[in-house]
Structure 1
Amino acid sequence: MYQVAARKMFKRTSAIAAIAIALGASGFAKAEEVEPLWANVKKAGVLRCGAAVAPPYVMRDPMTGNYSGFFADLCRDFGQNVLKVKVQFVDTTWDNIVAGLQANKWDMSVALNNTPERAKAIGFSSAASNYEVSFVYNKTNPKVGKKLVSIADIDKPGAVVAVMSGTSQDKAVSAVLKQAQIMRLPGIDETRMAVSSRRADFIADASDTNWIFSESHGDWAKTFVPNPALAKQEVAFGIRKNTSPDDVAMLNAYLKKKVSSGYVNALIKKAVQETLASGK
């Protein structure tokens, strides 16, 4: 009887030990997977910012390749004045801005909407600004009704809505437009050309971006903001999911300070003025 009990106790103890070892190994693996992002950036001496163009968030001079816009300015300020490293902008598209971050082609993605779909793949900082979708159209276009209030007023057979492929506004209009045709294009210049040439009837874009464009082309362009708001979201920096919690907290503290101090608002005004001055 004693030997049987002893054997049972030994098996139970061995099983518990095996579980403890497995749990310990699992915990160790998870600890190893955490990325000390800012330490790695400082070691490399450069903060790589993945950027896709969307004024006034991100703008790129086609002649010089220089980046501006209030999110680009925030990325530059954080890298140079907080991390004390050089800042490098990596040109990308909205279709690839999440995948490139996951593949470590850059350290942060600039000006991303914090959506549930993206949050499955990457992490986010706290918000630097807010976002909703609006529509720009040619006010002389006979296909556009005189009174626009809700999405239903543009979701008509024959209506064509241009949008940048892979963006949050692409996802937003894809979910609500059932009759209008969605024209997915690679970049902001292509969507604006589509409406200017009347190949499309509307541009679906961020409300700030569309407002600037319509102000620059007040002779024909007009902005429609749906009621209720479409896809109201926070705009933030995208980071990899395994970024150290301490590093995330550091970035969030920086952003909250810049927002509360009025620094971000000043950058937004500067970006808007620059965009209006360029006539884009």
Structure 2
Amino acid sequence: MKRRMILAGLATAMLALPAGAALAQDNTMAQIRDNGVLRVGVTQAPPWYSKDPISGNWNGGLGVSMGQAMADALGVTFEPVEVTWGTAVAALQANRIDLMYVLDATDERRQALAFPETPLLYYSLAILARDDLEVSDWADLNQPGIRISVPQATSMDAFLTAHVPDADIQRFPGNAEAIAAFQAGRVDAVTLFHPPLIAARQRLGRGQIIVPQPVESRPSSVGLRQEESTEFLDWVNEQIGEYYQSGQTQEWYEEFLTEFGLDPASVPPIMRERL
């Protein structure tokens, strides 16, 4: 008797829930509409996300602009939720955030997350070089007298090893150390996919960012929760495709670069067609 009363109480409680509550458990779009909020993962990483150190507000970067635009399109409130690149996957799985921009769709991440088919943007392999170094293609760097720093055992390291074997390639544990070698004048250029070079160029106040020919680029994406419903995934895929094709993604990127104090013409574009 007692067990029947408990079950009846649970059934009554379920009937009392909002109409979309059950769907929201496995339908991010329904959850967003029910709650009136789009939760976007953010982390301090210009030009993608930038937080005002005084107000603490996330008010700059491509991801912030795009998140606000998507929230507006859905008629809900944009809510930035601070995570790290390392915790973003867990945050999505735990339903702490609804999406995160500029999350590369690696094979490992594809096992845990869903990604739209349409690329969000493209990174380019670039160099931050001395202002007087003349470089237009990778062959210009393939000389014994050219010193290049790069994070060790990365795809960037493998590319340099294959394409500029005659250069003096100096390998470091990570991005920060490779950039520090350039800052100290120990190398003539540092090679990375271009986003970290933007902040480095701004901080150092010198150097030129160059995308040598032939261009080596790779797509980035948007990480989403895996779920049976594809409604939100399909919508995000359509939105980022429209933003990219119309040039709006590039425009948001250039707006932030200008606010950041950089001339967009001096920084590689994120549209592959404009490289």
Q: Distance in 2 between matches of 1:128 and 1:195?
A: 30
Change (3 A) 1:114 1:159: same
Which residue of the partner structure matches residue 16 of structure 2? Answer: none
Q: TM-score, normalised by structure 1?
A: 0.64
The letter of the residue matching 2:172 is: I
Partner secondary structure for residue 73 of structure 1 = helix
For residue 129 of structure 2, give the secondary structure of its aligned residue in structure 1: strand
Query: Which of the residues 249, 252, 259 maps onto 2:244?
Result: 259
Give % identity.
Answer: 21
Instruction: Kindly name which structure, 1 or 2, has the bigger radius of gyration based on alpha carbons.
Output: 1
Q: Which runs of 5+ in 2 are unaligned?
A: 1-22, 162-168, 264-275
TM-score normalised by length of structure 2? 0.65
CA deviation profile, 1:77-104 (whole Å, cap 9, x unmatched) = 2124315134223231x33333433343
Aligned residues: 231
Question: What does 1:98-247 correspond to in 2, within 5 Å?
Answer: 98-125=89-116, 126-139=118-131, 149-150=137-138, 153=142, 159-161=148-150, 171-176=154-159, 180-184=170-174, 195-198=182-185, 202-207=189-194, 210=197, 214=201, 220-230=206-216, 232-242=217-227, 244-247=229-232
1:240-260 deviation digits (Å, cap 9, x = unpaired)? 232621211112222233333
Cα 1:33–1:107 change in 2 (3 A) is closer
Shift of 1:60: 2.5
Q: Are residue 249 (structure 1) and residue 234 (structure 2) matched?
A: yes
Residue in structure 2 matched with residue 62 of structure 1 by the alignment: 53
Aligned ranges 1:87-106 → 2 under 5 Å: 87-92=79-84, 94-106=85-97
- SS state at 2:47 partner: coil
SS in 2 for 1:276: coil
Instruction: Tell me the amino acid that sits aligned with residue 156 of structure 2.
Output: V
- The answer as to whether partners of 1:212 and 1:272 remain within 8 angstroms in 2 is no
* Distance across 1 between alignment mates of 2:80 and 2:119: 22
Please provide the CA RMSD for this pair: 3.9
1:244–1:198 Cα change, 3 Å: farther
Instruction: Please give the alpha-carbon distance, in whole angstroms, between the structure 2 residues aligned to 1:148 and 1:155.
Output: 17
Instruction: Return the alpha-carbon distance in structure 2 between the equivalents of residues 139 and 226 of structure 1.
Output: 15
CA deviations over 1:38-77 (Å, ceiling 9, x no partner): 2123334432212233332222333333221122210122
Structure-2 change in CA distance of 1:203 and 1:244 (3 Å): farther
1:270 CA drift (Å): 0.9
| Range with bigger deviation, 198-207 or 118-127 | 198-207
SS in 2 for 1:136: strand
Is residue 161–residue 200 contact of structure 1 (8 Å, CA) maintained in 2?
A: no
Give the superposition deviation at 1:214.
Answer: 4.0
Q: 1:48 — aligned with what? A: 39
The structure-2 alpha-carbon separation of the partners of 1:180 and 1:277, relative to structure 1 and needing over 3 Å to count, comes to closer
- The 3-state SS of whatever aligns with 2:53 is coil
Match of 2:76 among 84, 89, 100: 84
SS of equivalent residue, structure 2 residue 227: coil
Is the contact between residue 124 and residue 218 of structure 2 (CA under 8 Å) also seen in structure 1? yes
Separation of aligned partners in 2, 1:259 and 1:37: 23
Contact 1:133-1:205 at 8 Å conserved across structures? yes
